Amino acid sequence: MPRFIDSVFINCPFDREYWPIFEGIVFCIIRCGFVPRCALEEADSGQVRLEMIQRIIRNSQYTIHDLSRIELSVESALPRFNMPFELGMDLGCRLYGTGKLKSKKCLILDAEPFRYQAFLSDIAGQDIQYHHNSPDRAITVVRNWLRTASQANLAGPTQIKHQFLEFSARLPEYCDQNALDRHDLQFVEYVALVEEWLKADNT
């Protein structure tokens, strides 16, 4: 299991439209020397999903919560509450927890400035950051937050974004070499390919 101080829990949408942003965030976390964690890392039908998320949150010093998917579902005409719910779990973990849980740090993301005031005004006063639905912008925000939150010496956002573009351009080739479907790439597979590419003197 990854160490608490290395783990970054990602709470975000997993739909196809969001996936390029998700890949950018995951790449950035790995490039910065941390371990990305999310609900997609395990596929155990015998485990309650909420219990798994609670465990990952509890074992991650850093957490990223993207609240950008507030639109109503076409099928149900209802919004999606999973992301705000998991944000609340994380804040509660830090507030009511003890020991290392008091050192937890979180980044809250949205697509555009100040939208949260209309749908989650209780987080007013938090330092909300915005990615404008851009993987490029998301990488900059996540890198700068990790630099401040961890006080680690990290590569600059320009370098990381350039490397992400290089890796993304080669990704279809790597998928073919590993008999993987680029359009149905699993989280653990994507993480493994990023780690392999970075270890091959691409940093």
Q: Could you tell me if residue 163 is left (phi over 0), alpha (psi between -120 and 50 degrees) or otherwise beta?
A: alpha
Query: CA–CA separation, 136 vs 42, rounded Å?
Result: 27
Confidence of residue 127 (pLDDT cuts 50, 70, 90): confident
**pLDDT for residue 68:** 84
Which tens digits make up the pLDDT trace of 55-65?
999 999 999 99
Tell me which residue range forms the domain holding 39: 4-155
Is residue 160, in this structure, part of any structural domain at all? no
Mean pLDDT within 79-97: 89
Is residue 177, in this structure, part of any structural domain at all? no
Is residue 18, in this structure, part of any structural domain at all? yes
Is residue 19, in this structure, part of any structural domain at all? yes
Which tens digits make up the pLDDT trace of 155-168?
999 999 999 999 99
Q: Which two tokens stand for residue 28?
A: 């950035």
Is residue 173, in this structure, part of any structural domain at all? no
Query: CA–CA separation, 22 vs 77, rounded Å?
Result: 25
Is residue 178, in this structure, part of any structural domain at all? no
Looking at residue 119, which CATH number applies to its domain?
Answer: 3.40.50.10140
pLDDT over 60 at 122, yes or no: no
Count: domains in the chain? 1
Query: CA–CA separation, 35 vs 32, rounded Å?
Result: 9
Is residue 62, in this structure, part of any structural domain at all? yes
Which tens digits make up the pLDDT trace of 26-75?
999 999 999 999 999 987 665 678 899 999 999 999 999 998 877 666 67
User: pLDDT exceeding 90 applies to what percent of the chain?
Assistant: 70
**pLDDT for residue 77:** 66
